[in-house]
Amino acid sequence: MSIPRSSGIQLHLSSLPGGRLGAEARAFVDWLHAAGQSWWQTLPLGPPDEYRSPYKSASAFAAWNGFLEDPEAPVSADEEDGFRARHGFWVTDWEAFAGDGAVADQVRFEREWSALRAYAAERGVRMIGDVPIYVAPDGADHRAHPELFREGVVSGAPPDAYSDKGQFWANPVYDWPALQRRGYRWWTERFRRTFDLFDLARIDHFRGFVSYWAVPEDAPDASHGRWARGPGRAVFDAAARDLRSDLEHRARESEAGGPPVTPGGARTGASAGNATSDGTVETPVGLPLIAEDLGVITPAVERLRDGLGLPGMVVLQFAFDPDDPDGPHRPENHREHQVLYTGTHDNDTLRGWWESIPDDRRAETDAAIDAAGVRQDEPWWSLVALAQSSRASLCMLQVQDLLGLGSEYRMNVPGEQGGSWGYRLEPGQLTAQDAARLKALTVGAGR
């Protein structure tokens, strides 16, 4: 998969003024166009949980009706029937879970979202989505397909430098042999839905496809878990076989406007594929995905990422650790086939980060800014300019960082329930002057 040199902005629909589709969403597209940005990245679009998190949605397929501009818009029986025909794999399960009116809401979302995507594409802006690896416990997918999930164990992360007890996520974990026996159909349909909605998508916790941390469901914490083997590339190969013609058609259509995402293209390894130990060659799958390869990443995870031809991620806030002089996040170690984020939805804002880091880390950051010759009046704009100068083909910025907002405006604090996911722009807060300033940096960086 190849992504042209470009940049974009992360902002969830819930963070728009009003928190929904419609005029404010179109206004944000207009601002992105004026700012020279090619991408808008959202968080998952499913119904959020009671803490407003979109990462434990009741459905891996359905969109949240809370995003609708016109939730009372009429829907005909023919429209519902057509939607059922196109999305028969999952919509009946969602209707059984959500009740009467669930299908009509999905029709309304399809109308409004399709109109926004067309509006954005006309202005050279493409959409990036997010695919959480796990589903919510007792959600629509878990209820409808219990045979696809293991019993007695749940998801988590092992102990590390940040937590001696690990992270207890408590999502159902997949029974990968059961999925294999069914040709990975559930995952193929999930990817199909994702690519119906987005031009490109970040796949969360990519390392879980190599091995994942399985925790006994009655354990007191995640330290009692153990590693279990994932499916490797088989799930991606199955999706690529079934979806290739659709993806090639969309790639041709994308050439009409905006930055195309095309199968094959730039690779981290050799362009013809990566040789395996038995002499065979792994070729890119051509799926428009970004591998979220953050954290402790093993050589096996890197081999899977590179064998699939997927770009990985680097985060500017992780770059300037004096104890990690060879870290992949440092600007001098960035590669073209990567996506650079100033910070993800789980990170502090740039201003909050800058004001909290120790002096030695601030000194390293200042040295990198000066070496790149991108010093701006405010530290956060200097960091935005440094990100834009990266070798990585795609640079993604957070809205909060362009506005110089502090830690109280961050999107999420991992591990804390409540108090997150509530950030929202004020009407008119992004100005024409902000757009002009970002466009100058973007054009100057060849994006």
Could you tell me if residue 212 is inside a domain? yes
Contact (CB, 8 A) for 197 and 127 = yes
Active-site residue list: 204, 292, 346
Count up the domains in the chain and report the number: 1
% of the chain at pLDDT higher than 70: 92
pLDDT at 202: 97
- Closest-CA residue to 90 (of 108, 78, 103): 103
Tokens of 351: 């201003």
Largest CA distance in the chain: 64
Could you tell me if residue 440 is inside a domain? no
- Sheet of 39-41, strand order: 289-291, 200-203, 126-131, 39-41, 6-10, 394-398, 338-341, 312-315
Contact (CB, 8 A) for 17 and 24 = yes
Contact (CB, 8 A) for 41 and 396 = yes
- Closest-CA residue to 397 (of 333, 447, 358): 447
Could you tell me if residue 333 is inside a domain? no
DSSP state of 2: B
CA 396/CA 40 separation, integer angstroms: 9
pLDDT in tens, 49-83: 999 999 999 999 999 999 999 999 999 999 999 99
pLDDT at 212: 96
Tokens of 239: 């999706």
CA 308/CA 92 separation, integer angstroms: 32
Could you tell me if residue 365 is inside a domain? no
In the predicted model, is pLDDT for residue 178 greater than 50? yes
Could you tell me if residue 123 is inside a domain? no
pLDDT in tens, 140-161: 999 999 999 999 999 999 998 7
Residue 37's pLDDT band, with cuts at 50, 70 and 90, is: very high
Could you tell me if residue 18 is inside a domain? no
Residue 264's pLDDT band, with cuts at 50, 70 and 90, is: very low
Find the mean pLDDT for residues 175-204: 98
Rg (CA), the chain: 21
pLDDT at 260: 58
pLDDT at 284: 83
Distance of CA 275 to the CA centre of its chain: 29
Could you tell me if residue 122 is inside a domain? no
Helices (H), 265-316: 299-308
More confident of the two residues 326 and 430 = 430
pLDDT in tens, 285-305: 899 999 999 988 999 999 999
- Closest-CA residue to 214 (of 160, 151, 162, 163): 151
pLDDT at 254: 62
pLDDT at 278: 38
pLDDT at 377: 95
pLDDT at 274: 47
Mean predicted lDDT score pLDDT of the chain: 92
Could you tell me if residue 366 is inside a domain? no
Q: How many CB atoms lie within 10 A of CB 395?
A: 28
Which domain does 167 fall in, by range?
145-284
Residue recorded with tokens 């590693």: 227
pLDDT at 259: 57
**0.75 exceeded by the pTM?**
yes
